[in-house]
Structure 1
Amino acid sequence: MSPDHARPSPVATEHPNTCLIRDGYTAFDKGDMEIIRTLLHDRVVHRVQGRGPLCGDYRTPEEVLGFYVRVFELSGGTYRSEPYAVMAGDGYGVALVHTYAERPGRVLDGRAVDVFRIEDGRITEIRTLAEDQYADDAFWS
């Protein structure tokens, strides 16, 4: 086949749940709790592993949003969770994230994995797993 008649290469499209997860991080980065609320299912639970004061299960959209606000407050607005890889299929998604925050005399600079369960186009569960749980627990304590 001559170059003039070459077929165009297919365009790869992301799974809608990959876009949903990315939209969540973009809204989080902007502090847009209204958009985040629209992405959360009414029976969402965000499970934060570890033994620090912020660890535990947040079981409603309001509790999840309150957790995010608390993270921003404790870090003086410095907390960032920046995804460097996002993958998703029909019911689940995963984001590999770089986390960064500052508190007086402390810096958190690490990585984590957020695992998502998604139903009907909304997030029903988030599990946050820090690469160095001891460092995360110490930072927030």
Structure 2
Amino acid sequence: MRRPARSRQLPTFLALLQSRPSRKDSSRPVADFLRRRAKASFLVRAHRAGCMLLIWVWPTPIRLSRDLAGSGQQREEVMTDVTLRNQNSELVRRGYAAFNSGEMDTLTQIIDESCTWHTPGKSPIAGDYEGREATFGQFGRYGGETNGTFRADLLHVMASEDGRVVGVHRNTGERNGKRLDVLCCIVFDVKNGKVIDGREHFYDLYAWDAFWA
């Protein structure tokens, strides 16, 4: 049985953007028509569901639909979300840098006084910690029990419009003849420019627990 021919129609969102020349275009000089087509080449940045969609529109007359273009208020909301995500991402980057360099003043500015922290597993350092003082105590164990060799080297940062930021990093350190090298991510909840919650997740929790045992 022959398979039905695959549709060559453009996706709906591109179909909305592209329109064919009107009948009036055929009566215009060819050079003028090509010039207008060339002017129509541009990049459209559309924000949908907190993600940036980058679309290349081929040289053809363009008509942006009212729904895709959005109102001025919608564009302002999108820009506000992007700005907030950038600010929260930068906050987390500063936090990683301050943690590795031991800048407690910076960490105090970044982490809220009522912050909660969660370390999974069955090791002696696993548990839930309430308050900035208890959270800093956990950070102190990381450095104290490894003679200052513990590090969290940031690899990637991802942020959403609801105040959550995910930091993906590599944990390394040495303790009692054992060496740690595991991937980890921390899900931060950020509110009003401060971290109010942090949850650690490890790629290899068994290796993490074995290091601290």
Normalised TM-score (structure 2): 0.59
Structure 1 residues not aligned, in runs of 5+? 2-11
In the alignment of these two chains, the number of paired residues is: 133
- Select which of 129, 132, 145 maps to 1:74: 145
**CA–CA distance in 1 between the matches of 2:127 and 2:120?**
6
Structure with more of its chain in helix, by fraction: 2
Shift of 1:104: 2.0
Q: Does 1:32 align with 2:75?
A: no
Aligned to 2:177: 105
Could you list the structure 1 runs, at least 4 aligned residues long, displaced by more than 3 angstroms after superposition.
none
Q: Considering only CA atoms, is the larger Rg found in Structure 1 or Structure 2?
A: 2
Which is worse superposed, 86-95 or 75-84?
86-95
Per-residue CA deviations over 1:3-37 (Å, capped at 9, x if unaligned) read: xxxxxxxxx97710000000000100111112111
Per-residue CA deviations over 1:29-86 (Å, capped at 9, x if unaligned) read: 1111121111111221010111111110111111111111111010110000011001
Aligned to 1:50: 121
**CA–CA distance in 2 between the matches of 1:49 and 1:140?**
12
Q: Does 1:130 align with 2:202?
A: yes
Aligned to 2:40: none
SS of 1:54 mapped into structure 2: coil
Aligned to 1:116: 188
SS of 1:66 mapped into structure 2: helix
- Select which of 137, 147, 158 maps to 1:87: 158
**CA–CA distance in 1 between the matches of 2:137 and 2:105?**
12
**CA–CA distance in 1 between the matches of 2:105 and 2:123?**
27
**CA–CA distance in 1 between the matches of 2:104 and 2:212?**
22
**CA–CA distance in 2 between the matches of 1:67 and 1:45?**
11
Question: How high is the sequence identity, in percent, across the aligned residues?
Answer: 32
**CA–CA distance in 1 between the matches of 2:192 and 2:155?**
25
Normalised TM-score (structure 1): 0.88
Relative contact order (C-alpha < 8 Å, sep 6+): which is higher?
Answer: 1
SS of 1:82 mapped into structure 2: strand
Amino acid at match of 1:126: G
Per-residue CA deviations over 1:115-140 (Å, capped at 9, x if unaligned) read: 00111110010000111111101101
Aligned to 2:38: none
SS of 2:148 mapped into structure 1: coil
**CA–CA distance in 1 between the matches of 2:109 and 2:135?**
12
**CA–CA distance in 1 between the matches of 2:142 and 2:113?**
21
Amino acid at match of 1:58: Y
